[in-house]
Amino acid sequence: MTDVPRRQPTLDEVAERAGVSRSAASRALNNAPHVSAEKRAAVQRAIRELDYVPNTTARSLATRQRGAVALVISGEAPSIFADPFFAKVIVGASAALEEADLHLMLCLAASDRSRRRLAELLRARGVDGAMLMAVRENDPVLQIARESEVPVVFGGRPPGFEAPWYVDVDNAGGARQAVEHLLARGRRRVGMICGLPDTEASRARHRGYREAVILAGLQPLPPEYGDFTEPSGTAALAALLTRHPDMDGVFAANDNMAAGALRALRGAGRTVPGDVAVVGFDDLDIAQIAEPPLTTVHQPIHALGNEMARMLVGLVAGAEPNSLILPTHLVTRSST
Amino acid sequence: MTDVPRRQPTLDEVAERAGVSRSAASRALNNAPHVSAEKRAAVQRAIRELDYVPNTTARSLATRQRGAVALVISGEAPSIFADPFFAKVIVGASAALEEADLHLMLCLAASDRSRRRLAELLRARGVDGAMLMAVRENDPVLQIARESEVPVVFGGRPPGFEAPWYVDVDNAGGARQAVEHLLARGRRRVGMICGLPDTEASRARHRGYREAVILAGLQPLPPEYGDFTEPSGTAALAALLTRHPDMDGVFAANDNMAAGALRALRGAGRTVPGDVAVVGFDDLDIAQIAEPPLTTVHQPIHALGNEMARMLVGLVAGAEPNSLILPTHLVTRSST
DNA sequence: GTGAATCTTGGGAGCGCTCCCATTTTGCGG
DNA sequence: CCGCAAAATGGGAGCGCTCCCAAGATTCAC
């Protein structure tokens, strides 16, 4: 490994061995037209014999295409990225990129330095396009996206910015379903645990909650805020319970916090779903593992990543795709 | 975005505007010696005025350096990659790469097709080096690693292959500590739940278990095997308990399975740690969230990623680093 | 058999940058 | 004021590929 720097064969060498011109070899390589069957075969044999692999860098320089796109995750990576959410997005995106023969550059844009590198990556055409995830209000990466000459697809709409292309999940609709389900189960005092308020997902879920409650002719309770972690859910539920001791239902903006809420309810001696019914959001593993297993809003995370990548692939190829909002649906388990 | 394809300025244009030769401009750009202070300043001004960003592809072609490395995750991505483990490795690696100004290419090598693409990426020098994670015995990516002319660092030693450079975690030592801890707590019939047997981590943890038990003059119990998931831990513990109803301690090869074991014990009416003490491995979030919180072996995952990346950066720069085994340590919580 | 239309073919000019090298300029001790 | 070493300078040859284009080879209808 790494020793013998015996140069890789070049296309000229392939051409020479096959007894054709470099142009013909290139055409055969990319199986373009205007090459006779014999020459094509000769080139293919030479390629095999020399174990030739085209140099992508040279190709990129000539074609002005990089063969790679970036997946950018904004915000404090250590905390945010630990969420299995992103792993699933990546898997979904990878699948679509693989089909288009594009590589995936992963960029964690948390520090100023990493953001500067990202900006250069885009400006220097180090990638053919980018997918942006977890962009928050007034996020500095928005500026980079705005100035990008390379197409950019957003995963989730960033608050306060009209993204030209995005794939989102029906957060409001899912939240509304969740709360309607709670109400249908006869709950009348339903509280909410929100996530970080500078994300659109968080806001949309709160909006869905309010709509459902108001449509039922009830009064929304002021929400408690967490940071999407389990302990913050525990704390939020405790606060909620202090304010509204008669609360009989809770909708949490994600499963982690819902699990935290479950813990707090157990600590407070309330039964679930007997005294208080709980619904989460995400449908991650933790929802099934929790005690009791959580009713939650399933969101198609894999599809989110997949569709973002497809959209970007289309954009790179010059298409004009439409933004997408993917449906969510409720998964009923024993917490309600 | 993507419209106005107004070409980025080139170095020639910068040179012309600054009234110097392209060579001088290049030297100034890379602040190399042999440029007078005035010309250097003139070039810098021209760069600023034209908003010039060097084309990395052209630079790569000339220097034969890509400015990027690959992080390869072998195996069935959907299942494996969902583990927050990899997210932490990535964060750790990213930090080190950012310092070295290298980009991260993420490759999920699950399918034949993705493996072929990976092989080409390395052969075509699409990256300057690679980090390989989750390589199993007889894993097809091993072949790719062997043939790579670009340096490769392994994360964890692949079984049955003498990796020239790797960063690993002291799996055997950690397991041994875990079991010694159980024995020190007075447990005498300690069982083990192993992970997938074709990973070295899994084997090493089992080895550590056996050593500790034998050193204490006791008899190791035949292990049960899971697949690192929570449900498989539940099943494994049930099987273990059937075979050894008097079992008073369990060591699970990871936290997920330990959490599953906890569930099974609860179902069987055994108290933890009263009747059976449980130790996990990983120290992921789930260890703290579990009921009761799990005693577990902490492994420095962030450091693992970080050290892999540092090692690769060194290798790319021509250094001859030494492989590394990072220490693990026991974190005691209420499950023991 | 002939001219037009269509294919093939290879030469050559890039893509934008780095770096070697021959040439010119500068600095400085004697 | 001269000679020589050291620094500065710009020309030019790549890096390995794509693609335009002019020239030559084929085909085919009439």
Confidence of residue A253 (pLDDT cuts 50, 70, 90): very high
Residue B237: phi, psi to the nearest 5?
A: -65, -40
Give the number of C-alpha atoms closer than 13 A to the C-alpha of residue B95, restricted to the C-beta side.
Answer: 15
Give the number of C-alpha atoms closer than 13 A to the C-alpha of residue B254, restricted to the C-beta side.
Answer: 22
Q: What was the pLDDT predicted at A3?
A: 36
What is the rounded CA–CA span in Å between residue A176 and residue A326? 15
CB of B315 within 8 Å of a chain A CB? The answer is yes
Superfamily (CATH) of domain B171-298:
Response regulator (3.40.50.2300)
Q: In what order do the strands lie in the sheet with A249-252?
A: A224-225, A190-194, A249-252, A277-282, A295-298, A329-331
Burial group, residue A228, by CB count within 10 angstroms (0-12, 13-18, 19+)? buried
Average pLDDT on A282-293 reads 91
Q: What was the pLDDT predicted at B1?
A: 38
Nearest-nucleotide field for B63 (CA, C1'): C18
Confidence of residue B31 (pLDDT cuts 50, 70, 90): confident
- Please determine whether the domains at B68-169+302-326 and B171-298 fall in the same fold group of CATH: yes
Question: Are the Cβ atoms of B83 and A82 closer than 8 angstroms?
Answer: no
For B185-229, write each residue's pLDDT tens digit.
999 999 999 999 988 999 999 999 999 999 999 999 999 999 999
Supply A334's token pair: 């024993």
Q: Are A205 and A195 in contact, with CB atoms under 8 Å apart?
A: yes
CB of A242 within 8 Å of a chain B CB? The answer is no
CB of B283 within 8 Å of a chain A CB? The answer is no
Which residues from the 36-55 window of protein chain B have CB within 7 angstroms of nucleic acid chain C?
A: 52, 54-55
* Helical ranges in B100-192 per DSSP H: 112-123, 140-147, 171-184
What is the rounded CA–CA span in Å between residue B111 and residue B78? 12
Question: Are the Cβ atoms of B105 and A101 closer than 8 angstroms?
Answer: no
Q: Count how many pairs of residues, chain A against chain B, have C-beta atoms within 8 Å.
A: 165
Which of the nucleotides in strand C have any atom less than 7 Å away from a protein CB atom? 7-12, 14-21
- CATH fold of A68-169+302-325 reads Rossmann fold (3.40.50)
Question: Are the Cβ atoms of B101 and A117 closer than 8 angstroms?
Answer: yes
Is the C-beta of residue A12 closer than 7 Å to nucleic acid chain D? yes
Average pLDDT on A134-158 reads 94
For B135-184, write each residue's pLDDT tens digit.
998 999 999 999 999 999 999 999 889 999 999 999 999 999 999 999 99
Touching A: B residues 110-129, CB under 8 Å: 111, 113-114, 117, 120-121, 123-126
Superfamily (CATH) of domain B68-169+302-326:
Response regulator (3.40.50.2300)
For A197-245, write each residue's pLDDT tens digit.
988 999 999 999 999 999 999 999 999 999 999 999 999 999 999 999 9
Q: What was the pLDDT predicted at B5?
A: 44
Q: What was the pLDDT predicted at A77?
A: 61
Q: In chain A, where are the structural domains located?
A: 11-54, 68-169+302-325, 171-298
Residue B3 confidence (pLDDT) above 50: no
Touching B: A residues 134-153, CB under 8 Å: 145-146, 148-152
Question: Are the Cβ atoms of B90 and A82 closer than 8 angstroms?
Answer: no
Q: Are A105 and A128 in contact, with CB atoms under 8 Å apart?
A: no
Touching B: A residues 168-227, CB under 8 Å: none
Q: Are A314 and A156 in contact, with CB atoms under 8 Å apart?
A: no
Dmax over CA atoms of chain B, in Å, equals 87
CB atoms closer than 10 angstroms to residue A336:
22
Which residue of chain B is at minimal alpha-carbon distance from A145?
A: B1
Spatial distance from the CA of B61 to the C1' of D24 (Å): 35
Q: What was the pLDDT predicted at B295?
A: 98
Confidence of residue B4 (pLDDT cuts 50, 70, 90): very low
Question: Are the Cβ atoms of A53 and B101 closer than 8 angstroms?
Answer: no
Q: Which residues of A touch B109 (CB under 8 A)?
A: none
Nearest-nucleotide field for B38 (CA, C1'): D8
Touching B: A residues 58-97, CB under 8 Å: 58, 60-61, 66-68, 71, 77-78, 81-84, 86-88, 90-91, 94
What is the rounded CA–CA span in Å between residue B165 and residue B314? 11
| Integer Rg of chain A from CA | 26
Average pLDDT on B280-284 reads 95
For B58-112, write each residue's pLDDT tens digit.
999 999 999 999 999 998 765 666 678 888 999 999 999 999 999 999 999 999 9
Which residue of chain B is at minimal alpha-carbon distance from A122?
A: B53
